[in-house]
Amino acid sequence: MKKFNNIKSIFFDLDGTLFDTAPELCFATNQMLKDIDLQELENDIITSFIGNGADNLIRKAISYSSKQNPEALFKKARKLFDKYYILNAAQSLPYDGVEETLMKLKKKKLSLACVTNKPEIYTHAILEKSGLISYLDLVVSGDTVIRKKPDPMPLQYSCDKLKLEPNQVIMVGDSCNDIEAGFSAGTYVITVPYGYQYGQSIESDKVDFAIKNLNDLVTIIN
């Protein structure tokens, strides 16, 4: 198994990496569709739209449900989605083994950060309700800096805040946004096989290692 040396910090994506947020996102999406008089969708269809931001999710859901241009309904739909998602976002649960893995990584004296495109209001609700925020040294949300992943800015900001060089950091995620952001920022990139890839392959030369479960991180970092 590949080993990583001189690692000081691990940055984690949130949706599809630390947390299974699909059930709550599906609920909010279907409530939104119902309120704008569109057909509700099966959860697996909505889940296939997750991973590239709420705006993309909303537009895809409207298009799939009605076959019409989503822009005419988008502004109203976005407000409705936010109305419903704030009600249940914090109910999202971490994947099995996440807390145990974070605990073990902290014992290795690593700094840990969550770097997500999810807005701060939802990010903090989820992390605080679950208690996982206690393991994190930094949380960077989708509205913390002016650009989101796949732009490297959130990772560069995180490195600056934690006084790290990019080659001391591993970015762990489930999607191309995480891969591109990590590669562009100069961090190592590790992928998990579950999560939300919105139909895109995460097999890439830009990935340093693909783990089978999050606990593998404990064994590959010296």
Distance CA 113, CA 136 (A): 5
- The answer to whether residues 128 and 91 touch, using CB atoms and an 8 Å cutoff, is no
Which residues, in sequence order, are CB contacts of 6 under 8 Å at separation 6+? 167, 168
> Active site includes 13?
yes
How many Cα neighbours within 13 Å face the side chain of 53?
A: 14
**Residue 38: which H helix or E strand, with range?**
none
Which residues, in sequence order, are CB contacts of 95 under 8 Å at separation 6+? 18, 19, 20, 194, 214
Which residues, in sequence order, are CB contacts of 3 under 8 Å at separation 6+? 220, 221, 222
The CB density around residue 166, as the number of other CB atoms within 10 Å, is 17
Give the bridge partners for 9, in sequence order.
111, 169
- The answer to whether residues 189 and 167 touch, using CB atoms and an 8 Å cutoff, is no
What is the token pair recorded at 219? 């064994």
> Which among 13, 20, 82, 178 is annotated as catalytic?
13
42: exposed, middle or buried (Cβ count in 10 Å: 0-12, 13-18, 19+): exposed
Give the bridge partners for 20, in sequence order.
93
Return the active site residues: 13
